[in-house]
């Protein structure tokens, strides 16, 4: 296992990039600790796979270095990096049995047969295929083949890192949940450094200790799932994380007050010297609803019942605005006002979070 350092790493697929927009990965510097579980999260095309492929050696970066521990691996081929990879689609040897597929990376390393058998047995239990070890891979469903790919990716204990690129895409939804918790259990047991690319926030937030959120080639924030939820550094993180995401309202800042279309909202403190136009961000679960009284006017459009809570979709002075109300909590009749706990309001200038004085 190894600590992974990205040192001023950037990549453009163009031979002669002209501007920042030409970079699929904009300069990123960070360190991922040995044994950490990380998720790279962002929408399609934001550069997640590019970053993962630089770490695995499939892409040579235009600039910067990748270190495993103290060792600079930037120019090493994939085969020399001692990593395991699991891709979006299954990579299995059709003519081999499930057992031989799982054992392949261990046989390659020349491990004793008894150790191989023990390890293959443990991994087969994890992926729920212990009864199918003698079946040939050919003829298995895509779902089963992908489970074999996952198992093969995790079978070795001595890799520097395991890299996953959207590994659960082809997996049946019921099995997804199961495999996610199995991955987590495996991480706890063996402490591999794991990097997991996904565009699915549930996958990222349940799998990782730390989530790296990317947008348009840039790492916009890296932190624990809770910190991304509580203190998004950028409006994109606020909006992208959470179901539904953070409400954003344009406002005029005046000391410790934000004016939303001229109506005052009290903030946790003064933001001087920041003045002028900002956005305030409020999580849908941080909203108090009332009928009449103080607060911003809320116009309810519809209520969606999603089980553990209801989502009230509507607008605040013309801007889309969602409120969540937990199951068992009454929605006030005729609710048309929203108020907020000042401590839970984020203030964003040019999309980046600012803190009060």
46 binds ligand ATP (CB under 6 A): yes
Closest CA to 134 of 108, 156, 102, 105: 102
Provide the token pair at 277: 């136009």
Answer yes or no whether residue 21 interacts with ligand ATP by CB under 6 A.
no
C-beta closer to ligand ATP: residue 202 or 266: 202
Q: Which stretch binds ligand ATP (CB under 6 A): 41-49, 156-164, 240-248, 324-332?
A: 41-49
Shortest separation between residue 218's beta carbon and ligand ATP, angstroms? 11
CB of 42 or CB of 151, closer to ligand ATP:
42
Q: How far, in Å, CA of 342 to CA of 268, rounded?
A: 5
Site stretch for ligand ATP (CB under 6 A), options 47-55, 156-164, 237-245, 325-333? 47-55
45 lines the binding site for ligand ATP (CB under 6 A): yes
For position 9 contacting ligand ATP by CB under 6 A, the verdict is: no
How many residues interact with ligand ATP (rule CB under 6 A)? 11
Does 50 bind ligand ATP (CB under 6 A)? Our answer is: yes
Out of 1, 9, 10, 24, the only residue in the binding site for ligand ATP (CB under 6 A) is 24
List, as one string, the DSSP characters of 228-274. Answer: HHHS-SBHHHHHHSSSS--EEEEEEEETTEEEETTEEEE-SS--TT-
For ligand ATP, the closer of residues 91 and 354 by Cβ is 91
DSSP bridge pairs for 296: 338
Within 10 Å of residue 201's Cβ, how many Cβ atoms? 20
Q: What's the distance, CA 175 to chain centroid?
A: 19
> Can you tell me the distance from the alpha carbon of 295 to that of 211, in angstroms, rounded to the nearest whole number?
34
Binding to ligand ATP (CB under 6 A): which residues in 192-221?
A: 199
222 binds ligand ATP (CB under 6 A): no
DSSP string, 303-344: EEE-SSEEEEEEEETTEEEEEEEETTSPPPTT--EEEE-GGG
Residue closer to ligand ATP, measured from CB, 45 or 334:
45
* Angle (nearest 5°) at CA 10 between 199 and 192: 55
The count of C-alpha atoms lying within 13 angstroms of the C-alpha of 252, restricted to the half-sphere facing its C-beta, is 6
Q: Is residue 269 near ligand ATP by the rule CB under 6 A?
A: no
- Piece of 40-48, 72-80, 140-148, 277-285 that binds ligand ATP (CB under 6 A): 40-48
Q: Return d(Cα 348, Cα 2) in angstroms, integer.
A: 36
Q: Does residue 62 interact with ligand ATP by CB under 6 A? A: no
Q: Closer CB to ligand ATP, residue 18 or residue 226? A: 18
**Least distance (Å) from ligand ATP to the CB of residue 91?**
17
Q: Which is nearer to ligand ATP, 205 or 260 (CB)?
A: 205
**For 118, which DSSP code?**
H
| Phi and psi angles of residue 9, each rounded to the nearest 5 degrees, phi first | -85, 130
Which CB atom, from 6 or from 106, has the smaller least distance to ligand ATP?
6
Minimum CB–partner distance for residue 9 and ligand ATP (Å) = 13
CA distances to 24, 99, 302, 303, 334 from 311, in Å: 36, 47, 8, 6, 16
Q: Does 13 bind ligand ATP (CB under 6 A)?
A: yes
28, 32, 47, 346: which one binds ligand ATP (CB under 6 A): 47
Binders of ligand ATP among residues 154 to 183 (CB under 6 A) are: none
42 touches ligand ATP (CB under 6 A): yes
DSSP secondary structure string, 167-235?
TTTTS-HHHHHHHHHHHHHHHHHH---EEEEES-HHHHHHH-SEEEEEETTEEEEEE-HHHHHHS-SBH
Is residue 182 within 8 A of residue 153, CB to CB? The reply is no
Q: Which stretch binds ligand ATP (CB under 6 A): 46-54, 111-119, 142-150, 326-334?
A: 46-54
What is the contact surface with ligand ATP in residues (CB under 6 A)?
13, 24, 42, 44-50, 199
């Amino acid at each position: 296992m190894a600590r992974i350092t990205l040192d001023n790493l950037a990549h453009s697929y163009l031979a002669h990039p002209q501007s920042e927009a030409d970079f699929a990965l904009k300069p990123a510097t960070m360190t991922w600790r040995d044994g950490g579980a990380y998720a790279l999260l962002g929408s399609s095309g934001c550069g997640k796979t590019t970053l993962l492929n630089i770490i695995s050696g499939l892409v040579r970066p235009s600039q910067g270095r990748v270190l495993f521990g103290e060792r600079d691996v930037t120019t090493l081929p994939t085969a020399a990096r001692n990593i395991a990879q699991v891709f979006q689609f299954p990579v299995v040897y059709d003519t081999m049995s499930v057992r031989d597929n799982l054992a392949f990376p261990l046989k390659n390393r020349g491990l004793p047969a008894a150790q191989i058998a023990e390890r293959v047995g443990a991994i087969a239990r994890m992926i729920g295929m212990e009864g199918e070890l003698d079946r040939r891979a050919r003829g298995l469903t895509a779902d089963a083949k992908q489970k074999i790919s996952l198992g093969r990716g995790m079978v070795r204990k001595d890799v520097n890192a395991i890299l996953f690129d959207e590994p659960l895409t082809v997996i049946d939804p019921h099995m997804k949940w199961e495999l996610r918790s199995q991955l987590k259990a495996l991480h706890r047991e063996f402490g591999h450094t794991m990097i997991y690319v996904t565009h699915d926030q549930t996958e990222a937030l349940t799998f990782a200790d730390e989530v790296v959120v990317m947008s348009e080639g840039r790492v916009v924030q890296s932190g624990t799932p809770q910190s991304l939820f509580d203190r998004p550094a950028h409006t994109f993180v606020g909006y992208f994380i959470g179901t539904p995401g953070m409400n954003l309202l344009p406002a005029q800042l005046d000391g410790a007050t934000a004016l939303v279309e001229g109506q005052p909202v009290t903030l946790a403190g003064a933001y001087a010297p920041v003045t002028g136009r900002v956005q305030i961000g409020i999580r849908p679960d941080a909203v108090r609803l009332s009928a009449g009284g103080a607060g911003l006017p809320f116009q309810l459009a519809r209520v969606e019942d999603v089980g553990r809570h209801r989502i009230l979709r509507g607008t605040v002075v013309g801007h889309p605005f969602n409120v969540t109300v937990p199951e068992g909590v009454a929605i006030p009749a005729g609710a048309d006002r929203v108020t907020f706990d000042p401590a839970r309001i984020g203030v964003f200038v040019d999309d980046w979070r600012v803190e009060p004085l």
